[in-house]
Structure formats: C-alpha cells, structure tokens
Structure 1
Amino acid sequence: MSHPNQFSLLSQRRFAPFFWTQFLGAFNDNLFKTALMVILTYDALSWTTLSPSLVTNLIPGLFILPYVLFSATAGQFADKYEKAGLARFVKWMELAIMLAAGAGWMTHTLWLLVAAVVGMGVHSTLFGPVKYAYLPQQLSPEELIGGNGVIEMGTFVGILLGEILGAVLVLHQPYGIALVAGATVLTALLGLAASYRIPLTPAPAPELKISRNPLAESIRNIAFSRKNKVVFLAMLGNSWFWFYGALILAQFPVYAKDYLHGDHSVFVLLLTVFSLGVGSGSLLCERLSGRKVEIGLVPFGSIGLSLFGLDLYFASLGYHNTAAVDFAGLLAQHASWRILFDVLMIGLFGGFFIVPLFALIQTRCDPQHISRTIAGMNILNALFMVAAAGVAIVLLGQGFTIPQLFLVTAVLNALVALYIFSLVPEFLMRFLAWLLIHTVHRVKCIDAERIPAEGAAVLVCNHVSYVDAIVIGAASPRPIRFVMDHRIFKLPLLGWIFRTARAIPIAPAKEDPWLMEKAYVDIAQALHEGDLVCIFPEGRLTSTGELNEFKGGIAKIVARSQVPVIPMALRGLWGHLLSRGAENVFERTFRTGWRSRLALAVGQPVAPQDATPERLREQVLALRGGWK
C-alpha cells in the first residue's frame, strides 16, 4: 500500500501553520543569538572586555537557563490550555522581546541584549511542550515519525538560516546592527501571523491546577517520568544529544577563527554543514524506519556520533594552514574536506539519534501527561546544556584545545550510549533487528498495521529459521514477548539476544513439565499486562519448508486470557543459512544470496472463541501462499 510523502503534511492546515510557527521561532532565536555571538567574537572590544571563548559559552547558557526554571510550569500550561491559543500568546511575547532587543541594538546597550537572550529562552521554554505535544494530537501513529522528522528538519534549517543571516547581517557595514534589529522584529510578526492559522487543539487536562512552585513541580514531573523506564531513558538520551550538540556548536566561532584561521563565513559554513546533516538525517528517519517508531536507529545514530566525533579530532590535527581564509579559501585546503565531512556526518547521525527518541516519548508516555513529560525532558535538556557550557569552560580553562574537546565529547558519547543501552536492551535489540532487515535481507511487510499498536494480543506465525523472531520484531511497532524453545537460550549469541528481549522459554511436557507450565503462567501474566506475545504453534523449526501441525498450546493460551489472535506468515526464509534443511550450510548460504528477499504477511485478527489450532494453521498457510 502506498503512503503519502511526509512533505504532504506541509500542505495541510493541521500541520503547516504549526510548522511555520515553530520554524520562524527557531529562525529568530538563532538569528538574534548568532548575531550577538558574532559581534562579540569579531568586534569584542566595542562591546565587552570578556574573552570571546567565555562569551560564546556563556550566551547559550543564559538562553537555556529559563528551561531549568520554568519548564515545569510551561508543561502545565500546555496540558491545561488549548494549544493554538497558547502558541499565539507565546508569539506575542516574542514580538515584545524583539522590540526590546531592537532598542538594545540601536543604543549599544549590552545588558538589554543579554536580557533579551534570557527573554527568548523564556519564549522557547513556553513553546517547547506545545511543540511536541501538539503532534500526537494532530497526526496518526504512522505519520508521527515523518512529522517529527519534518519538524526536526525545519528546526535545524531554521537554526541554520537564522545563524547564517545573523552572522552575515551583523557584520554588514554600516547598517548591520539596524538590519538585525529589523529582521528579528519582522520575523516575530510573521510567526505571530502563522500562529493564527493553527487549528483548535483541545487541552488534554483542562481541570489541571497550576502549581505555584516551579521547583516542586519540576521534581514531580521528573519523578512521574521515571516511573516509565523506557520513556525516562529516552528523555535522558534526548538530553545527552543536546549536551553533545551544545558543547560542539558553542566551539564553532572560536574554532573557525583560531584553528581554521577563517573569517565569519567559515563559521557560517560549519553551521551550514552541521544543520544540513541534522536535517537530512531527520528526513531519512521515515524511510529507514518504515513509517513506524523505530528505536533501532538510536544506537546507529550513537555509533556515528562517536566515530565521526573522534575523526573530527584527528582531522583537526591534520589541518596545517595558517593563512587567513574565507569559506572559499577553506574549501581550497585539501584537509578541510575531511573536517567538513565529519561535521556533516555528526549532524546526519544526530538526526538518526534524536527523531526516534522524540517519537518514542510521544507514543509511550501517558497522553494526559504528555506536555508535562516534554517539559520534564526540557528541564533535563537545559541542565545538560548548562553542564555542557560548564564542562567547556572548565576544560578550556585547564588548557584543553578545542579539538581535544571534540575528542572528549566523542568518548563520553560512547560511554553514555553503552550505559543507556545496558539499562534498556530494547534499543540494542531493535538495532540488531533493523540491521538484519536492512543488510542481510530485504523485508517487505504486508498489512503490518494490523499488529495492534496497543493492548494485549497473541501473534502466531510459521517457524522457518532461527531469526524468525528478529524479523517479526523489526516489523512490529512495539516490543513483543516471544515464546521460544528453551534450547535456543543456550546458543551463544541468539540466547543472549532473546534473554535480553524478555523472551519466554518453553519446553515440551515430557521433557520439562515444570518449565512448560511456568511458560503458560508467564504468557498469561504478559497478556494481563497488555503485552504482545508471539508463539510459533508448530513447536519446532520446519525441516521441509512446509507447515507442521499446530499444537494445542495456542488454544490453552487463548482460553485462559481471551485476547485476539493475529495470524502471520513469513515468506522467503526457507533455505536461509539459519533454517533447517537437507542441504549443507554452504549450499544454503550461497543459494539465498546476499540481500535475499523476504516478506511478512499479517492477517486479520481472529476472535478468541474462533482461534482453534486448525483454523489458525489454515490462515497462516493462506497468508504464506506458495512462497516458502
């Protein structure tokens, strides 16, 4: 079945006005901040006696300080009040702040500009929970990953264009400051106009009482989110990305000036390449994820962040030019292409990392609490970004170079990733499944949307190979508890994978009656908790490629739990290296070839009273057809 492209959302009122509202907000934030940082880097003596490296780390820290102080209150507002009206209120606030900043620019008043930085931080703090809580209310589940990708792309393109325009305008003599002041006010007006087209989006918790104690509410928000381990660790992963990005991006002005010996156009080039990377990675997520929330991309993104962060350090050491250059002169340096490639790849893999995390949080947290969950994440983001500014200031003060700062960040990223993935093995499991179906196999999913996105159900499927569970798990929008032969758990790699995925071991009654009965108890408990459980009713791998008889265990499971049964059929795995057949291993390896074609067909749900082994076998056989 064909699906509309994610960009089709930009032609729809439920998405487009909101997209342009947030795009213009991100654009204006960065136009203003970048103009201020550039003027304080390249014309510092006219404004302040502070060192440029201190100022370029201090300004981002001041911008995100309101996230720490007011995110909890902002989350309450977004849950209590209608979101379109709230967006318009925030845009009026932005206009007032930019008018005040305009006065600061024209009178050369630095404290007023710094106050405006904090004011824009408050503006972004209030809009943050609205931004990500709005999407699940207006988009269907299969649109969510694409919608998030477009939003992230828009955010980083807005950041990019704002940074470019801010850096270019402020140094335009003699009218640069006036141009920046006018551009920020005009952008605020355009954002306000776009906000009046956002459709009505009802509040999920209008009866909510706003807490007057932001600190206590912040603690409550984070404590509530910690109850859902996967969501909370996704929030931490999201915050880590902002630590990583803030630490690296804050170094770009001085890195461009002192290490690459470039003018402000080199700084703009670095921002452009990074932002294009993040935008491209965000948009690619929909294609790579198959229009579902695919958290297997998160480890993939994390690997890229560390690898290319490390290489950026080594690439920086290989840059030996000492002559002053503009962006064209930088591109003429052979060593610069490796640096730019690393920056692009950091952005690209950052997109792979961040978009699935946003979608995971949106789909797995309590709908009544989504804005406050996003607010809690924003608090963590702010704390991590403040920490990034602090770490950069301390390390630079201890004599670290900026390339060494890149190295430290890449190593820290690897350690943090290992920690998070050890606590929530689902990330790693989904990565292995995603890797399998995008390298060794080409998997086509037929009617995969019939796998329920929520609620308990039993999935039944033919059993063709040792990787059946991984292929099925990759097609599912949510985790599956697989019922597996206990002997598989003794295999070196597969055993670890299935234990990590909380698979349920089972044994024949004549071999281990206690383990068999325990398996049925565990299955009933999993279904009671609303999980998906997948069983292979044949009880063993096929040795001929044909379906064996379905055992009576499925009837016992359904009789006890009374949940729907979803028949499924794998096509094309027979003859795989890890299937069971008469040919020897080498014949099977070369017969299927590299990138072999597979399909997973999903049937209509069967009511519990109709889910007999015979009927289910007939349905699985019909779904499989003649393609084994």
Structure 2
Amino acid sequence: MTSREGSTRGFWALIVTQFQGAFSDNALKALVTFLGLALAATHAERERVVPLVGLLFSLPFIFFSMAGGWLADRLSKRAVSLGVKIFELGIMAFAWFGLRHEHLPMAFAAVALMGVHSAFFGPSKYGLLPELLPEHRLSWGNGILELGTFLAIILGGAAGGLLYQQFKGRYEHAALLLLAFAGIGLAAALAITRVPAANPGKAFRANFLGDLFSQIGRIRRDRILWLAVLGNTYFFYLGALILQNAILFGADTLRVDEFRTSCLQAALAVGIGLGSFAAGCLSGGKIEYGLVPLGAIGMTIFSGALGVPILGYRAALLLLTLLGFFGGFFIVPICAIMQHRPDRKERGAVLAAANLLSFVGIALASGVFWLLRAADLTTSQVFLAGAGMTLAVLLLLSVLLPDAFLRMLLWGYTHSLVRLRVEGGEHLSAAKGALLVAERSTFADGLLILAATDHPLRPIMARRLYDRPWIRLFAKSARALPCAPRALREAGVALREGEAVLVWRETGAAVDGEPSAWERRLGRLLGNSDVARIAVQIDAPSDQTGRRRLLFRARTVRFGRPTPRPHASDRGVVHTRG
C-alpha cells in the first residue's frame, strides 16, 4: 500500500471515529435529558434539567481543551485518538451502572465525562487532517468532516430519544448499545494512519487560562489566523443563538409540537452539513477565502428572512436549512486556515485555543439570548438581531480583508463564465516566498492568477493602469502595488514574510526606459534569500476566427517548477502590467 493510499484510508478511519464520537455524545445527552425530565420531582427541577445537561457537557471544553492541545502536540495524534476511545469505553461502562440503577447524578457525571473525552479529542481530530491529506484536499476534507459531524449530531439526538422510548425502565440496555458503539469507534481509530509526534519536548502548563492567553498572543502575530479564530468563535456563537431561539420559535411563534420543533433544529444542522460538503467540493483544491463573505451574506439574508412575522412552518424549515447551508460555506475555509497556517509543532495548541474560544462563544450566546428575551424581543426579532450582528461582521470583514470579497467575485466568475484549470499549483504551495513571473497579458489574466491560488499574492502594476478609477478599486482589493521604488521595497518585505509577488515579463522591452535597472531590481528581489522564481503561463483560447474568447471557455493557469535564481536566459525585463 502506498503512503497516499494509507493516508486516504486513515482519513476515512478518522471520519468514522469522529462520527461515532459525535453520535454517542448526543445520544447519551438526549437519553440522560429525558431520564432527568422523567425523574424530576418538581417543576423547578424539570426546568433545570436541559440547561444543566448542556452546561455539564460544555464546561469540560473550557477547562480541558488546552490540555488536549498539549497532548496533540506532545504525542502522536493517532495515539491521543486511541486513548480517548479507550477512555470512552470506561465512560460508557460507568454510564451503564448509573442508568441501570436510574442514578441521576452518575448519569449526569457520564455526560460531563463525555465532554472531557471530546475536549481532548478535538485538537487531535482537526490536527490530523493536514497530516493525512495534502493541502489541496484540505477544504474537501473539512467539508466531509463537518458533514459527518452534523449528521452524527442529528442522528445521535434522535437515537437518544428512541433509546429512551424503547428501553424505558431498562436503560442499561441502551448503555450497552452505546458501549458497543464505543468499541466500533476504537476499531476505527486503530485504522488511522500512524503519524509522528509534532513536538515531543513540549512542556505542560497546568494554568489553562495562562496557556490560553499565551497562545492567543502567538496567534495574533498571524493576522489571517487570528481573524479565522475569531470567525470560528462567531460561527459557534451565532449557531448556538439560532438553535436556542428555534426551540421557542417553534413552540411560541409557529405553535408546533416538540417533534416539529426538533425538526427545526435538525434543519439547521442538515444545512450546515450539506453546505460544508458543498464548500469542500467547490473550493477547487485550495483554501477558498471567497466563500467566507459569501457564507456571511447568505447567513445575513436568511436569518433576516426568518424574522418575517407571517412565516409558516415549511418556509421556516427551508430558511433554516439555507441559513445552515451558507454557514457551511462560512466555516469550511476558516477551519482549513486554522489547520494550515500554524506551525506543525504548535498546531494542536492553536486548535485547542480555537476549540475553547468556540465554547466561550456558545456560552456568550446563552447570555445574549437571555438579554434579548428579557428586553421583550419576540423570537422573530431575535432572528433579525442575528442578521444584524452578521451584517456587522460582514462590514468589518470588508474592511479587514477586502481581498476576500474580490476572491468571492472571482470564485463566482470562475464557476460560471469561465472554467478555470490550474496546473502545477503545488509548486507555489510548497514555496514560502515566490516571485511569479508571467508573460505579458491583460488585467483580467492577472485576476485569473489570483483566483488560481490561495497563496498570499501581491501583484505589481504599471502606475497608468493602477490609477484608472474602474481598476483602482479591484487593484486595492487585490493588494496590488503601483510601479514605483516604494513598491519594490514592499515587495521585498512581502517575499521575506512568505508571500508571493507577481510581475509581468516582456523580453526585449523597456520599462520607464531603464531595462538594466529593472534587471538589477529583479536580482535584488531574489537576492541571496530562499525566494523561488516561478514562471506562470495562461492560455489564450480563441474562436474559429482567431479572436480571443474570454467568456464561456476553459482557461488554464500553469505554474512552473521553482528555480532559486534567474537564469541568464531569463534576464529580460520585468513588465509591470495588471
């Protein structure tokens, strides 16, 4: 078996392991919740059961996520996965004893222990993806993982209710089934590909809050990574707010029974799963940043649509599904960024911090929901408030990451009017910093190069093109540099920071009458550093008359193999076009 086949098998083993864990988490939570409601002696006790179960499951993520991140870096992530599955066998045996005797405190403790299990598994689970899959399949892998997770949440919650009904008075039989499922999860974890420990010498910090703030400080040094962590936190915050509101929306506004109310929550989860899968498939073998604003736009629209007072039940199901679908578009590239950008030795700690902050977002959603309801907002108005919050996030994103909106437009363009093919993209992905040298072409072709890669890119453009009003907006969004000495300095900084710089080459032509000066500048850009030089070619499809066709045709962007120095044959002049 080749290493690639082994990694693919290991990836699917991880998916099965994660599916089983999420399924069992939610099945046990639902089973214990129904048992708690049945055994509650007073109305006040009954009212406390649902939030108590949710709190018991969530608190371990706050207290143990950082420890899980340390284990994910200190040990092999496969070994951690095996350890938590063995731990789950013990938890389900403990749950069996509590359910057999209908001992509610033990059943509650089992839910909390499953929270500990999931808190330790989370960083290893997400950290395994970039170790099992190549970068160009990372978004696809995240889409599959999120689809499986949300399907497991839905099926697990439904299974918990079914187990309660089928084994009423004989709950230990339900626990035996969950124990058997834990065994299946352990068998799947054994099939995960063996991976080495990322940082065997990493020291443990008992102060998880100090560890969290220290990790946040390191994350903030990478602006894109920090924004991704914040986006991940907001996603879980909004999801928790919508899910809590959906319960009262079904009961108070739509006036439907408990089963139909559960279907409203399931519709959101199904939408997220389907949207995640679609986003992974539509990312084109890269991290598609443009899907983030597209997802935020969809979440804003459909959350706002849920605020229409005359909404019917079927319309609500459809809108919640669409809201979740665009939520999947929003979260998949964010997850891929958090897995790809951190250093391998710190990846587990970064994912642990993101995991912890996501549960801070969930807890914050509970407080915000209580405040909104205390302010006498109806459930429809809470949906409108969620739309307003997401719109604010969207506007903030347009300021902090304007190139994400340009990438959104390019994604739409290359999935409708033009079919874009990319060859040799792995050459650019493997380079920390790269000087891309393309043949003379058009501004539109420069945008195609931008659409062909998720690598941070700084095009250098001629000043006369950059200053045109209709181009300037796109140029700024693309982080283009106008041709000037200052642009060369900024390009040098970008190369040293691992970004790519795009210039245009036209052999034998002069730029600003100084061909020799541009040759020297090109040499200084490469200097004595490890910056690679990569040639880029774009095909120019034409119709039968020989005229170029820009629409409704396949376009191919080819990245050549990197060379560390410009050869003598390449000592032409860099022509800075857009």
TM tier relative to shorter chain: 0.7 to 0.9
The DSSP-based 3-state class of the residue aligned with 2:130 is helix
Distance (Å, rounded) in 1 between the aligned partners of 2:505 and 2:7: 47
1:199/1:566 CA distance change after superposition, 3 Å: closer
Gaps of 5+ in 1: 1-7, 320-334, 507-514, 542-548, 576-587, 618-628
Distance (Å, rounded) in 2 between the aligned partners of 1:457 and 1:39: 60
Query: In the TM superposition, what whole-angstrom CA distance separates every residue of 1:344-377 from its partner, at most 9, and x where no partner exists?
Result: 1112111111111111111111111000000110
Q: 2:61 aligns with which of 67, 90, 93?
A: 67
- 2:15 maps to 19
Distance (Å, rounded) in 2 between the aligned partners of 1:429 and 1:105: 55
The DSSP-based 3-state class of the residue aligned with 1:201 is coil
Contact 2:131–2:195, Cα closer than 8 Å, also in 1: yes
Contact 2:247–2:265, Cα closer than 8 Å, also in 1: no
1:56/1:290 CA distance change after superposition, 3 Å: same
The DSSP-based 3-state class of the residue aligned with 1:598 is strand
- 2:80 maps to 86
Distance (Å, rounded) in 1 between the aligned partners of 2:19 and 2:6: 12
Distance (Å, rounded) in 1 between the aligned partners of 2:470 and 2:49: 51
**TM superposition shift of 1:238:** 0.8
Q: Which amino acid aligns with 1:604?
A: R
Distance (Å, rounded) in 1 between the aligned partners of 2:508 and 2:297: 36
2:24 paired with 1:28: yes
Contact 2:142–2:280, Cα closer than 8 Å, also in 1: no
Q: Which amino acid aligns with 2:304?
A: L
Q: Which amino acid aligns with 1:443?
A: L
The DSSP-based 3-state class of the residue aligned with 2:289 is coil
Identity, in percent, stands at 32
Structure 1 range deviating more: 343-352 or 228-237 = 343-352
Contact 1:539–1:550, Cα closer than 8 Å, also in 2: no
The DSSP-based 3-state class of the residue aligned with 1:434 is helix
Contact 1:304–1:346, Cα closer than 8 Å, also in 2: yes
**TM superposition shift of 1:57:** 4.6
Q: How does 1:200-279 map to 2 (within 5 A)?
A: 200-279=194-273
Query: In the TM superposition, what whole-angstrom CA distance separates every residue of 1:26-67 from its partner, at most 9, and x where no partner exists?
Result: 1111112233445667x5855752565x65455334322222
Distance (Å, rounded) in 2 between the aligned partners of 1:55 and 1:287: 40
Contact 1:233–1:420, Cα closer than 8 Å, also in 2: no
Distance (Å, rounded) in 2 between the aligned partners of 1:343 and 1:403: 13
Gaps of 5+ in 2: none
Q: Which amino acid aligns with 1:556?
A: R
The DSSP-based 3-state class of the residue aligned with 1:568 is strand
Q: 2:184 aligns with which of 180, 190, 199?
A: 190
Contact 1:169–1:176, Cα closer than 8 Å, also in 2: no
The DSSP-based 3-state class of the residue aligned with 1:372 is helix
The DSSP-based 3-state class of the residue aligned with 1:298 is helix
Contact 2:40–2:46, Cα closer than 8 Å, also in 1: no
1:247/1:108 CA distance change after superposition, 3 Å: farther
Distance (Å, rounded) in 1 between the aligned partners of 2:442 and 2:389: 39
**TM superposition shift of 1:467:** 2.6
Q: 2:428 aligns with which of 446, 451, 460?
A: 451
Q: Which amino acid aligns with 1:278?
A: I
Distance (Å, rounded) in 1 between the aligned partners of 2:174 and 2:250: 22
Q: 2:296 aligns with which of 302, 318, 329?
A: 302
Distance (Å, rounded) in 2 between the aligned partners of 1:111 and 1:44: 11
- 2:502 maps to 534
2:562 paired with 1:605: yes
**TM superposition shift of 1:494:** 3.1
1:564/1:174 CA distance change after superposition, 3 Å: closer
- 1:318 maps to 310
Structure 2-normalised TM-score?
A: 0.88
Q: Which amino acid aligns with 1:427?
A: A
1:592/1:264 CA distance change after superposition, 3 Å: same
Contact 1:282–1:351, Cα closer than 8 Å, also in 2: yes
Contact 1:465–1:574, Cα closer than 8 Å, also in 2: no
Q: 2:539 aligns with which of 550, 561, 571?
A: 571
1:603/1:193 CA distance change after superposition, 3 Å: closer
Structure 1 range deviating more: 60-69 or 363-372 = 60-69
**TM superposition shift of 1:179:** 5.3
1:31/1:71 CA distance change after superposition, 3 Å: same
Distance (Å, rounded) in 1 between the aligned partners of 2:453 and 2:89: 45
The DSSP-based 3-state class of the residue aligned with 2:460 is strand
1:462/1:111 CA distance change after superposition, 3 Å: same
Distance (Å, rounded) in 2 between the aligned partners of 1:500 and 1:261: 47
What is the number of residues matched between the two proteins? 561
Distance (Å, rounded) in 2 between the aligned partners of 1:404 and 1:44: 35
1:121/1:554 CA distance change after superposition, 3 Å: farther
- 1:556 maps to 520
Distance (Å, rounded) in 2 between the aligned partners of 1:344 and 1:10: 35
Q: 1:431 aligns with which of 397, 408, 432?
A: 408
Distance (Å, rounded) in 1 between the aligned partners of 2:49 and 2:375: 17
Q: Which amino acid aligns with 2:184?
A: L
2:318 paired with 1:341: yes
- 1:385 maps to 362
- 2:376 maps to 399
Query: In the TM superposition, what whole-angstrom CA distance separates every residue of 1:125-169 from its partner, at most 9, and x where no partner exists?
Result: 111110111111222112222212111111111112102212333
Distance (Å, rounded) in 2 between the aligned partners of 1:601 and 1:431: 22
Distance (Å, rounded) in 2 between the aligned partners of 1:616 and 1:187: 65
Distance (Å, rounded) in 1 between the aligned partners of 2:250 and 2:22: 23
Distance (Å, rounded) in 2 between the aligned partners of 1:274 and 1:414: 19
Structure 1 range deviating more: 91-100 or 160-169 = 91-100
1:423/1:11 CA distance change after superposition, 3 Å: closer
2:481 paired with 1:525: no
Q: Which amino acid aligns with 2:562?
A: P
Distance (Å, rounded) in 2 between the aligned partners of 1:180 and 1:47: 26
Contact 2:27–2:159, Cα closer than 8 Å, also in 1: yes
1:107/1:44 CA distance change after superposition, 3 Å: closer
1:372/1:11 CA distance change after superposition, 3 Å: closer
The DSSP-based 3-state class of the residue aligned with 1:451 is helix
- 2:444 maps to 467
Contact 2:541–2:550, Cα closer than 8 Å, also in 1: no
Q: Which amino acid aligns with 1:485?
A: A
1:107/1:176 CA distance change after superposition, 3 Å: closer
Q: 2:44 aligns with which of 49, 56, 75?
A: 49
The DSSP-based 3-state class of the residue aligned with 1:15 is helix
- 1:282 maps to 276
Q: How does 1:126-141 map to 2 (within 5 A)?
A: 126-141=120-135
Query: In the TM superposition, what whole-angstrom CA distance separates every residue of 1:213-262 from its partner, at most 9, and x where no partner exists?
Result: 22211211111111111101101101111111112223444443444333
2:481 paired with 1:504: yes
Q: Which amino acid aligns with 1:520?
A: L
